[in-house]
Amino acid sequence: MNYTHWTKICALALTIFILSPFGGISADDKSAAEVSCKSKLVAVGRPNQIETIANLNAVGAWISRAREHGASYAEWRYAEKAQVSCEKKGKSGFFLCRASGKPCPAKPSQSPS
């Protein structure tokens, strides 16, 4: 792999971490025994000529949709079966990405101190 590829991977990982809220399970969320993952969500991000940015746009769109279940569900890193797929659209050179996964809350052992 070349330097540019690793730069894109690092930028993607950093952005996903930044987009994820740092809060754990809030007081008004259910107890850990009562909380479970929600149904699978699929979100399409804004197209971009840079695949990494299109990928981040899709993850950001997924996080926004998952937040509708509560702040503790809006963390991509805890999503079950999380995946992003991208495709280049026609002659425009733009990438369109879709993020999918089941929103899951952080377990108390996963929450930042």
- Residue 88 has which token pair? 């280049």
CA distances from 29 to 34, 54, 69, 73, 108 (A): 9, 32, 10, 10, 12
Predicted TM-score (pTM) of the model is 0.67
Distance CA 58, CA 98 (A): 5
What's the pLDDT tens digit per position in 26-57? 444 444 434 689 999 999 999 999 999 999 99
pLDDT in tens, the chain (113 residues): 555 555 555 455 545 555 555 444 444 444 443 468 999 999 999 999 999 999 999 999 999 999 999 999 999 999 999 999 999 988 889 999 999 999 999 876 655 54
Domains of the chain: which residue ranges? 39-103
- Residue 50 CA to residue 68 CA, distance in Å, equals 28
Q: From CA 81, how far away is CA 55, in angstroms rounded?
A: 16
